[in-house]
Amino acid sequence: MFPGAESARDRARLSSQPAGLANLRRHKPDYWIIVLCAILLAVGLVVIYSISPALAITSGVSGSYFVDRQALAIGLSIIAFIATTRIPLERFRSSYKLLLAIGVLATLVAIVLPVNPNYPAHRWVRLGSLSFESVELLKFALLIWLANFLTIKIKQGAIANFRKTAVPILAAMGVIGVVVAFIQSDLGSTGVIVAMMGIMAFVAGLPIKRILIIGGLIVLVGVLAVIATPYRLARIETYLHPTANCQSTGYQACQSIIAVGSGGITGLGLGSSVQAYGYLPEADNDSIFAIYAEKFGFIGSIILLAVFAALFYRITRVSERAPDDFSRLVVVGVLTWISVETIINIGAMVGLLPLKGITLPFISYGGTSLVFFAAAMGLVYQISGYSSHVSPTSSRNLKGRSNDNDYSSHRRGLGGSYHPNPGNRSRA
C-alpha cells in the first residue's frame, strides 16, 4: 500500500489521515531554511561579539561572557533543532496535552517564583543557573494544540461553527490575555500569541467575517489594556512623539532611532558602534537591530531584512506544500510566531511601532527564545521534507522543481498514489 520509499518511521511522522498518507511524498527537506537560519545566528553572534567590550563595561562582566553564553545558546538551539527534526511530528501532536500542561505549569511557576529585582516581572522560570521565559514554552505548546484543534475541526467540518471553533479559541485567547498580558505584564508576547492563533485560524478556514469580529474584540481588549496600564500608555505616547522626551520615557526609542539613523548608508563598521556604549539600553537584546543598523548602515540593514524575508518565504512555501492540514497549520503558526516577533522588534527599532520588549529572532542575545525558535524551525524543516503528492497548486508550483515534481514521482514509481481530487484529503 505504501510506496517502497516510505518507512514505518515516515508513516509515524505524518498525520493519521489515510488520504494524506496516500498522497505523501518524501523528498529532500528545504536546506535553505538551515542556511538562512545559520546566517541570522552568525550575524547575531558577530554583533554580540563586536559589542562585547561595551557590554562588559556597562554590565561589569568579562568581555567574553556574552559571546560564550550566546554560543552555548546556539549549541542548545542546534540540539533542539535536530531533536524536533527527528521526533516525528505525530509524536508532538499526540502529546499536545502534555506540552500544554508543561507550558501552563511553567507559567504558574514563573508567576509563583519571587522575581529578580532587575527584571521585576513574573516571566522567568529559574532552575539553578538556568532560566527561561515560560511564555516561550507556552507559545510552542499552544502552536501544537491549536494546529491539532483546528485540524480536528476541519475534519469534523465544524471549522465554520462559531460555537465549536471560534469560542474555544477566543476563550484560550482570553485566558492568555489575563495571564500573560496582565499577570506577567507581557503584552508583546500576548500579541504574538494572539496573532499566531488568529492567523492559524484564518488559514484553517474560519470565515472572514468571524475573524474580523474576533480581531475587533482583540483590538478593543488591547486598547483597554493600554489605557489600564500607565506605562503602556507612555510607550504609545513615545511612539507618537519619538523626539519629544528623549531623556525619560522616550529614551530607548530615541536612542534606537539615533543608532539606526547615524549608521547612514554604509554604517560605522563592525567594531565602531557607539550607541552600544551605554546609550542604547538592551543593546545586545531587544535593541540589537539598531546596533546592527548603526554598524552596517542601510545596505546591511536591507540585506538583513532580505534574509528575514527569504526565510519567511521559504517557510511560506513549506506550508503551501505541507502534506496535510496539521503540518500546514504548524508551519503557518511558526511563520506567524517568528515573523510577528521580527516585525514587532524591527518596527520598534525604526520608530514605526511602540517598544514591546520582544527579541529579534535568531539575532538577539538570549537563550530561551533562541532554543524555542530553533525547535519551531526544526518542525518546519521536518515538514519541508514531505509534501502531498499533488499540491493544490501543483500545476503552477511544482514546475521546475527537480526533486519533487510529477515526472520524477512517476519515475520513482510513485504514480500509483496520484490522487486526482485534492478535495478528498479533507473528507470527513
Q: Nearest approach, Cβ of 298 to another protein (angstroms)?
A: 4
For another protein, what does the binding mask look like between residues 278 and 307, x meaning CB under 8 A? xx-------------x---xx--xx--x--
Q: Nearest approach, Cβ of 422 to another protein (angstroms)?
A: 6
192 vs 178: CA distance, rounded Å: 15
Q: Which stretch binds another protein (CB under 8 A): 70-78, 228-236, 259-267, 359-367?
A: 259-267
Q: Nearest approach, Cβ of 276 to another protein (angstroms)?
A: 9
167 vs 163: CA distance, rounded Å: 5
426 binds another protein (CB under 8 A): yes
417 binds another protein (CB under 8 A): no
Q: In terms of Cα–Cα distance, which of 44, 33, 87, 29 is closest to 369? A: 44
Q: Nearest approach, Cβ of 267 to another protein (angstroms)?
A: 9
Element (H, E) at 90: helix 89-94
Please list the alpha-helical segments (H only) found in 157-250. Answer: 167-176, 187-204, 208-228, 230-240
38 vs 232: CA distance, rounded Å: 35
Interacting residue with another protein among 137, 335, 374, 398 (CB under 8 A): 335
User: % helix / strand / coil in the chain, to the nearest 5?
Assistant: 65, 5, 30
Establish how many alpha carbons lie within 13 A of residue 200's alpha carbon, considering only the half-sphere containing its beta carbon: 37
Interacting residue with another protein among 196, 204, 291, 363 (CB under 8 A): 204
389 vs 392: CA distance, rounded Å: 9
Q: Is 365 left (phi over 0), alpha (psi -120 to 50) or beta?
A: beta
Interacting residue with another protein among 308, 365, 372, 381 (CB under 8 A): 308
Element (H, E) at 388: strand 386-388
392 binds another protein (CB under 8 A): yes
Interacting residue with another protein among 48, 346, 355, 358 (CB under 8 A): 346
Determine the size of the site formed for another protein (CB under 8 A).
Answer: 66
Binding site for another protein (CB under 8 A): 54, 57-58, 154-161, 199, 202-205, 255, 257-265, 272, 274-275, 277-279, 293, 297-298, 301-302, 305, 308-309, 312-313, 316, 319-320, 325, 328, 332, 335-336, 339, 343, 346-347, 350-352, 391-393, 422-423, 425-428
